[in-house]
């Protein structure tokens, strides 16, 4: 059956038998950060690039970025605040999403 | 083939499973389990059936293992009853959702409490919305035949849903009846080897049992609902083919002396045989009664039912389960709902009888018919009625 690759969300006739997943990596297609109510703001002035935010993030929303800093991905960050809580320098602030 | 032997119905069902040449049987061997899996374990241990027999640690595990086995492409079987089915409940929902063609014999026994191991339909009625195809046997031969039919239907590429074959505890499971058994070769004329549409295969990896987020859960449900509704055609075709191969013909709804009958009893399972005796006796007395029974319960045979009641004016539905605080037994409620938008429809009266192993006797059927007749004359009766309750 031809499947639309735009998203993991399909019309019912396009679902595989028993909702099986036949293409690996489909969870990456599914953006799960849209119900976030707050997001992290990192102060690069004070960040020591230790990577604890990257390690602790339960959704693997952080990844190594430019100049040794770590960037969070809004498609997956759910705003749990664990990064802010674990940051040894306290340079991550959780900020409410704009309405 | 062609020779009937006297055999316990449970043992006959295990012989049907052997004839179906299953690959794996998972079962928890303790009360309320029956001789079905006990005999299967002997057949496997004695080398008479080439299958894996796994005595798991609970019914929850039994159904979980059945799913794993079926996902690997094996013909898979289990049997259970009442509390066993209840413990299985969580996974009973998963099997059809993963489209696993598992066959399960459900020996109908009452749900505790009070503690009971006896016969009624409270176990199956608690599982009626899980997307399993459900058939009900009236006698031992039917239990045998429906077991083969179940594999044929479940594994059909247009179906791929699990099938539950219901047979009454004790009044069927533990009695000896004359039954015609089949060898694997004889069953093979009807039942071909299972060819999975999708299975766990390292060469073609697949994820089964993924998360159904809100954005896709409804679509999945639509797939299951469409599949079970569409399965009716395969169910009917498979009965037709069974009749052609073995000469025994089955229909989703069976009728007995309904032609011109003023009152028609509606039953499911083994009490239908007592009902027929009651009908014969009442007919001798000049009372115009007939019988209708569901062999197929899920998917609900709506068109067949509406056709069957076309010329019937009074229907007395006998439920063997109670749906607390509702408007009657489950069969009664569905039957009435099926008729609501029909221009011409019979008066329907609901009765609950035979709970927790209480015998449903000829006298009870006569009582039910006489009550239905009285209510029909008045044009109304109670919402529903429990039969045979001791008042003092």
Per-10-residue mean pLDDT for chain B, 392 residues long? 90 98 95 94 98 97 98 98 97 98 98 96 97 98 98 98 98 97 97 96 92 91 98 98 98 96 97 98 97 98 96 96 95 97 96 97 97 97 94 94
Residue A73 shares a structural domain with residue A92: yes
The CA distance from B244 to B309, in Å, is 27
The CA distance from B232 to B253, in Å, is 13
Residue A41 shares a structural domain with residue A82: yes
CB of A10 within 8 Å of any CB in chain B?
Answer: yes
The CA distance from B120 to B353, in Å, is 9
Mean pLDDT of all residues in A36-65: 96
Quote the pLDDT of residue A9: 74
The CA distance from A47 to A43, in Å, is 6
Contacts of B214 (CB under 8 A, 6+ apart): none
Return the structure tokens found at B58: 């609970």
Partner A, chain B 85-114, Cβ-Cβ below 8 Å: 97-100
Residue A36 shares a structural domain with residue A78: yes
The CA distance from B9 to A89, in Å, is 74
**Number of domains into which chain A is organized:** 2
Measured between CA atoms, the residue of chain A closest to residue B216 is A9
The CA distance from A24 to B72, in Å, is 19
Residue A42 shares a structural domain with residue A17: no
Residue A13 shares a structural domain with residue A36: no
The CA distance from B295 to A37, in Å, is 54
Strand order in the sheet with B52-55: B52-55, B24-27, B76-80, B103-108, B163-168, B133-136, B296-298
Output B366 or A23, whichever has higher pLDDT. Answer: B366
Residue A8 shares a structural domain with residue A36: no
ipTM: 0.87
Range of the domain at A20: 1-30
Torsional class of B145: left (φ above 0), alpha (ψ -120 to 50), beta (otherwise): alpha
Quote the pLDDT of residue B322: 95
Domains of chain B: 4-246 (3.40.50.970), 253-386 (3.40.50.920)
CA distance A74 to chain B (A): 19
Residue A37 shares a structural domain with residue A79: yes
- Do A24 and B205 count as a contact with CB atoms less than 8 A apart? yes
Residue A22 shares a structural domain with residue A55: no
Measured between CA atoms, the residue of chain B closest to residue A25 is B207
pLDDT band at A26 (very low <50, low <70, confident <90, very high): confident
Residue A41 shares a structural domain with residue A70: yes
Say if residue A78's pLDDT is above 80: yes
CA distances for B105 relative to A69, B14, B124, B295, angstroms: 61, 10, 11, 14
Contact indicator for B302, B313 with CB cutoff of 8 Å: no
Residue A38 shares a structural domain with residue A79: yes
| Contact residues on chain A for B95, CB-CB shorter than 8 A | none
Interface test with A, best of B70, B102, B223 (most A CBs within 10 A): B223
Quote the pLDDT of residue B1: 57
Quote the pLDDT of residue B69: 98
Return the structure tokens found at B101: 């063609």
Residue A88 shares a structural domain with residue A44: yes
Say if residue A1's pLDDT is above 50: no
The CA distance from B204 to A20, in Å, is 12
Residue A42 shares a structural domain with residue A86: yes
CA distance A48 to chain B (A): 38
pLDDT band at A33 (very low <50, low <70, confident <90, very high): confident
Contact indicator for B263, B228 with CB cutoff of 8 Å: no
User: Percentages helix, strand, coil for chain A, rounded to the nearest 5?
Assistant: 25, 15, 60
Contact indicator for B264, B291 with CB cutoff of 8 Å: yes
Say if residue A3's pLDDT is above 80: no
Alpha carbon B148 to its chain centroid, in Å, reads 13
pLDDT band at A25 (very low <50, low <70, confident <90, very high): confident
pLDDT band at A99 (very low <50, low <70, confident <90, very high): low
Say if residue A7's pLDDT is above 90: no
CATH of the domain at A70: 3.30.70.20
């Amino acid at each position: 059956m031809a499947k639309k690759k735009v998203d993991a969300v399909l019309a019912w006739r396009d679902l595989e038998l028993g909702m099986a997943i036949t293409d690996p990596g489909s969870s990456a297609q599914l953006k799960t950060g849209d119900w976030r109510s707050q997001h992290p703001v990192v102060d690069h002035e004070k960040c020591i690039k230790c990577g604890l935010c990257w390690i602790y993030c339960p959704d693997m929303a952080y990844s190594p970025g430019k100049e040794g800093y770590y960037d969070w991905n809004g498609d997956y960050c759910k705003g749990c605040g664990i990064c802010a809580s674990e940051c040894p320098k306290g340079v991550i602030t959780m900020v409410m999403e704009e309405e | 083939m062609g020779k009937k032997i006297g055999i316990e119905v449970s043992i006959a069902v295990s012989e049907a499973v052997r004839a179906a040449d299953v690959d794996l049987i998972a079962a928890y061997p303790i009360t309320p389990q029956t001789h079905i899996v006990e005999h299967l374990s002997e057949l496997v241990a004695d080398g008479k059936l080439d299958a894996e027999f796994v005595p798991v640690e609970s019914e929850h595990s039994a159904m979980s293992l059945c799913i794993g086995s079926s996902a690997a492409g094996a013909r898979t079987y289990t049997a259970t009853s009442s509390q066993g089915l209840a413990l299985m409940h969580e996974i009973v929902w998963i099997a059809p959702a993963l489209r696993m063609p598992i066959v399960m014999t459900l020996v109908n026994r009452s749900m505790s409490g009070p503690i009971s191991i006896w016969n009624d339909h409270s176990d199956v009625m608690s599982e009626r919305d899980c997307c399993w195809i459900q058939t009900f046997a009236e006698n031992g031969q039917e239990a045998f035949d429906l077991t083969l039919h179940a594999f044929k239907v479940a594994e059909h590429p247009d179906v791929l849903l699990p099938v539950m074959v219901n047979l009454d505890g004790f009044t069927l499971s533990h009695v000896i009846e004359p039954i015609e058994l089949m060898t694997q070769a004889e069953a093979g004329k009807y039942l071909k080897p299972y060819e999975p549409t999708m299975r766990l295969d390292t060469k073609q990896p697949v994820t089964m049992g993924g998360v159904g987020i809100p954005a896709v859960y409804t679509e999945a449900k639509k797939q299951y609902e469409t599949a079970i509704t569409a399965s009716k055609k395969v169910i009917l075709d498979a009965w037709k083919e069974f009749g052609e191969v073995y000469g025994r013909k089955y229909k989703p709804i069976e009728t007995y002396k309904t032609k011109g009958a003023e009152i028609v009893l509606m039953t499911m399972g083994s009490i239908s045989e007592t009902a027929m005796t009651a009908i014969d006796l009442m007919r001798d007395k000049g009372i115009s009664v007939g019988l209708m029974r569901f062999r197929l319960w899920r998917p609900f045979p709506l068109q067949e039912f509406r056709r069957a009641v076309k010329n019937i004016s009074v229907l007395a539905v006998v439920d063997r389960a109670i749906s607390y605080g509702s408007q009657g037994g489950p069969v009664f409620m569905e039957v009435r709902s099926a008729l609501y938008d029909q221009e011409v429809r019979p008066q329907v009266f609901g009765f609950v009888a035979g709970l927790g192993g209480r015998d449903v006797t000829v006298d009870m059927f006569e009582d039910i018919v006489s009550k239905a007749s009285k209510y029909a004359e008045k044009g109304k009766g109670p919402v529903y009625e429990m039969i045979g309750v001791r008042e003092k």
